[in-house]
Structure 1
């Protein structure tokens, strides 16, 4: 919002939003390989402890801005190995429906934490100071590291357990890329993940100019951004608790469509009705419905885990999630660029319309490869490394 207020440029506003995904693009696949090279519980503990220390340094009063930005970038680099290790370890510990339910609960928690985090962070900065808020954030990471250290049972590194000794981090990363590239099933799953996300979340990149176009202030912008995560939380709860395991994968295709149609409709509402409380309420409601549709991530995640050998999961998750964040940033930039030529509502409508067309081929591939596994691709990845 601050960037848009100062520049009135949807593209610069979108660029600022997209920069948050840069660490994943630069270090995601490479750093995620640690989730297979090292014991996964150790990766979780070390990354959280490291981020706690870095945030504590950021909280030092008078820290120069360039130094703070550098520290923030290092903090962000902790996400790829942590998320890859967490996802892979969950798949190691839980199987079948238990993994699907755990994935749903994790997704719900993350979405609600995102909404609450926006509110709490703002309140802390207003009541205390940015340094105090950063210090509190550092404490949360430290508590998490201690909690993980106390609660997780030590497990050997997947690579050493399988007897497959890796010679370099780059070679490990290449194996993860080759595994996905040589498996039609994994390519289809990752294709749905990347293409569906590219267009479903593009509106976030132009949220500030869109809220302004709809006649809203900073509070309205917060509501606009919170609508989708709340929908995702509800959709995840429904998928996990009310839909049987055998039906979840069949819901991926209709849910992907459900996540994109409301985006198109929300853009059209803004174009036709313009500013006002009623159009804004309709837009928020449509984004909420789009979030419910985004629950397709849960059964897709389960399908991904089932198709990846256990010793490759950290690297495979790293590639998939790095691409996920990359396309989110690309979608934000694309929407911002479109909003320079048309209105923000027009850019959102365009994202939904193009998304429905673009996602059709990968959804067809996903349905055709149902039941396929990546075991043969795993062998090819090792021999071609």
Structure 2
């Protein structure tokens, strides 16, 4: 909720209970929507939102394709899990290197135009993979460079898309819009994993199948960028004319706002540690399935697609759950289940138990993400959206390259089961620390602080 809202509100027989602070900035607690049917109808008839959502869905299918293709292609070219981990790290490195600066410029530039350029740039970059392979010129260095460029495009596109959401839909529809995005992402994961698994399984070899997945991914970015040309709604508020401020000044403003929001700060640390620990789990799953359990790469894609069906279901339920389960319960409960799922993967004697661990891990993310992102978007003014979202994501996603690089080395030296056990222990430690921090730090007086300059 934005600052200035009352901490307790009676509305159509509904009680909205939050933790009040001395500046009336509440910690958002879930409340049932009095008219969920009307809310969804309004969202689905929102022309511009649905165009953006459609483009996001198409590009998400492509992202799911290359999500499986990257480690398989890297393994095919190098034969080394450690090198595959480094290529995956290159894809994620822009989150750490560019997210903060991207947020500053996204708050200055036209967000729609940024998304179009990012999509078309990724189309051009990814198209070089099948071309290089056709001329027998594809190398690990080339693959890593394209992975990095794709990550750059994703940073600018994702932060722009997230920051524009509050302008595309009214605030009461934010949770539903986030849930619909999660549904699209999850359904795209199912379709993308199934298609990638089919391409890899039917191709002459897994390397060729992964290259074909890259080609399809490139086309999805082209379609996504073209769809944005038909959107009419502005993706941001009009910025008042004034003297141009330095990049550092704008950057500090966004960082200061995020740092002074105690709940956002705690959530940022939690998600950062979770992402670090979970970053290498996909690679560990592939290596564990292929080398320990004897499952071929094509079947892995189909298994991930089947697992993704459960994620789609959880994404549909995410908005409903957010209205009924507190953010604290959602966050701590997810941590406990993630730790159990990692242990299940580590001990898996068959593909069935391994898939069950992946299912639990994936199903929780849409539910947790809808509550987290909706709170963050509601708590942040429009002119700070790019910087706050990018600052949050710099740490929370920026550690993934480090986690993937370290995880790839551990898998190569100690094996995938050791990595999964380490993730389980680490997630349990994060859970215990988060319980203590939530009790000790987030008192009614300190849970939320006024934005900079409001005092």
Q: Hey, which of these two has a bigger chunk of helix by percent?
A: 1
* In structure 2, C-alpha distance between the alignment counterparts of 1:213 and 1:289, rounded to whole Å: 21
Counting only pairs closer than 5 Å after superposition, residues 232-271 of structure 1 correspond to structure 2 as: 232-240=311-319, 242-243=320-321, 245-249=323-327, 250-267=329-346, 269-270=347-348
Cα offset, 1:105, TM superposition:
1.6
Out of 2, 20, 24, the position equivalent to 2:91 is 20
Which residue of 115, 120, 145 corresponds with 2:225? 145
Report deviation, 1:263: 1.1
| Deviation (angstroms), 1:10 | 4.0
Match of 2:372 among 295, 300, 321: 300
1:80 equivalent among 143, 155, 158: 155
The correspondence of residues 112-261 of structure 1 with structure 2, limited to 5 A, is: 112-121=187-196, 126=203, 137-155=217-235, 160-161=239-240, 166-211=244-289, 212-223=291-302, 225-226=304-305, 229-240=308-319, 242-243=320-321, 245-249=323-327, 250-261=329-340
Q: Tell me the secondary structure at the aligned position of residue 91 of structure 1.
A: helix
1-structure distance, mates of 2:274, 2:265: 14
**CA-atom RMSD in angstroms:** 3.5
What CA deviation, in whole Å up to 9, does each residue of 1:240-298 have, x standing for no partner? 2x42525252422212322221111221x23xx4xxxxx22012112212222222121
Segments of 5+ residues of structure 2 without an aligned counterpart are 1-71
Secondary structure, aligned partner of 1:21? helix
| Contact 1:185 1:370 (C-alpha < 8 Å) held by counterparts | no
Bigger shift: 174-183 or 210-219? 174-183
Q: Structure 1 residue 49 and structure 2 residue 120: aligned?
A: yes
> Where does residue 276 of structure 1 map in the other structure?
none
- Could you tell me how far apart the structure 2 residues matched to 1:119 and 1:296 are? 25
* Distance apart, 1:199 and its partner CA: 2.3
| Of 208-217 and 224-233, the range deviating more from structure 2 | 224-233
1:87-126 maps to which residues of 2 (within 5 A)?
87-121=162-196, 126=203
Q: Does 1:379 align with 2:453?
A: yes
- Could you tell me which of 323, 348, 352 is aligned with 2:420? 348
- Structure 1 unpaired stretches of 5+: 274-278
Contact 1:177/1:319 (8 A) holds in 2: yes
The Cα offsets for residues 71-98 of structure 1, whole Å up to 9 and x where unpaired, read as 5543431211211111111123334452
Number of paired residues?
Answer: 369
Summarize the Cα distance change of 1:143–1:261 in structure 2 as closer, same or farther, 3 Å threshold. Answer: same
Deviation at 1:131, TM superposition (A): 8.4
The separation in 1 between residues aligned to 2:304 and 2:231, in whole angstroms, is 34
- SS of the residue aligned with 2:107? helix
